[in-house]
Amino acid sequence: MKIWGFKGKTAEERGTEEAAGEPLDAELRQALGDFRLAVHAWSEAALSRPRPALARRHRPAWRLAAAWTCSAILVAAGVSGGGFYQHRQEQIKQVAAAQARQAEQQRVVAVRRVQAREEEDLLAKVDSDVSREVPVAMEPLARLMDEGE
Amino acid sequence: MATAEEIAAEQFADVVTRHRPQIYRFLLSSTRDPDLAETLTQDCFLKAHRNWSGFRGDSSAMTWLMRIAINLQKDHWRNRRMQFWRKTQTNSVDLDEASDWLASGEKSVEQKMMARERVGQVWKAVEGLSERQRTVFLLRFVEEAELSEIAQATGLSEGTVKAHLSRALFKVRAELGGRR
């Protein structure tokens, strides 16, 4: 039963009837007819072939091996990449800690320097103040020294 | 008394029974891959089932189904990921194998050999056609569809269908001419 198409007439039956607005010569018509019958035969055979419930595509061994190799490389890269990342993070932490320690030491040294300078200044001031103060008993002598100068 | 859903399911089952061989044949000739054709045929009817309630009957069920099938195979080949695998994972049979299929008739050995050669030449020409030319050619000369039906199924105008067919026939003629 014909359910779609030339409504009952095959290409052969239509003879030289136009195909695409142009007549078909005998050889072309024959070739197209053979082609159509061949496709129909193939399709019927393919449709009626026994099929397993779960048809699996055939996978060549080399492709399976390549897939396993790629997977192994990816896993190895992932693991080593993770290790490297962790190692790198630790290095960064150590460098940061060393920098922090150095900065703290520099700050302490600077504070100590400031304190030492302040102490020196204070002592110098005290020295100068003490040296300028003359005991009362020595005053006449001190005045003489000033005049002699 | 059957409900509307039951009637629709029954109608759809009838459509599947009647049109499945033709849809499969078209997809097989388009892909030359029996497994892929089967998968796409199932996809086609699955899609049709989902949209069955929306089918208004403006065109015949066959035209509607064929349109879905054409789009599915187009999507399949245009999918870039699939195109990558196309070179390495295709199950398409080669032209020689496809040409081995001949209708069983009372032909002499010589006639069978000539027929096999002709079929091989047509397959070779079909392989060299563009996607649209191939679709239009197969619908016309394998499925024996009318120009108006091809136009509806492909979404092209009849004039464009004619132009594609003409170019396809030119290539088939050239292939057959080279054989002489």
So where are chain A's domains?
1-49, 87-135
Q: Are residues B52 and B79 in the same domain?
A: yes
Q: Are residues B72 and B124 in the same domain?
A: no
pTM for the full predicted model? 0.61
Q: Is the pLDDT of residue B89 over 80?
A: no
Q: Is the pLDDT of residue A15 over 50?
A: no
Q: Are residues B101 and B78 in the same domain?
A: no
- Calculate ∠ Cα A108-A112-A117, nearest 5°: 150
Q: Are residues B2 and B78 in the same domain?
A: yes
* Residues 99-138 (B) with a CB less than 8 A from some CB of A: 99, 101-104, 115, 118-119, 121-123
pLDDT at B164: 94
Top-ranked range on mean pLDDT: pick from A58-67, B46-55, B140-149:
B140-149
What is the extent of the structural domain holding B99? 93-180
CB atoms within 10 A of CB B69: 27
Q: Is the pLDDT of residue B131 over 60?
A: yes
Residues B40/B71, Cβ–Cβ less than 8 Å: no
Residues A14/B144, Cβ–Cβ less than 8 Å: no
Find the CB nearest B118 among A5, A22, A31. A31
Q: Is the pLDDT of residue A6 over 50?
A: no
Indicate the number of domains in chain B: 2
Cβ separation B146–A6 shorter than 8 A: yes
- Residue with token string 């920098």: A99
Distance set, CA B90 to CA A129, B27, B84, B95, B98 (Å): 105, 15, 10, 14, 15
C-alpha to C-alpha distance for A122 and A127, rounded to whole angstroms: 9
Q: Is the pLDDT of residue A17 over 50?
A: no
C-alpha to C-alpha distance for A42 and A49, rounded to whole angstroms: 11
Q: What is the pLDDT of residues A94-127, one digit of tens each?
A: 999 999 999 999 999 999 999 999 989 988 888 8
Q: Are residues B98 and B21 in the same domain?
A: no
CATH number at residue B105: 1.10.10.10
Mutate which of B25, B92, B114 to test chain A, going by most A C-beta atoms within 10 A? B25
Q: Are residues B54 and B135 in the same domain?
A: no
C-alpha to C-alpha distance for B72 and B62, rounded to whole angstroms: 15
Task: Report ipTM (2 d.p.).
Answer: 0.85
Higher pLDDT, B4 or A149: B4
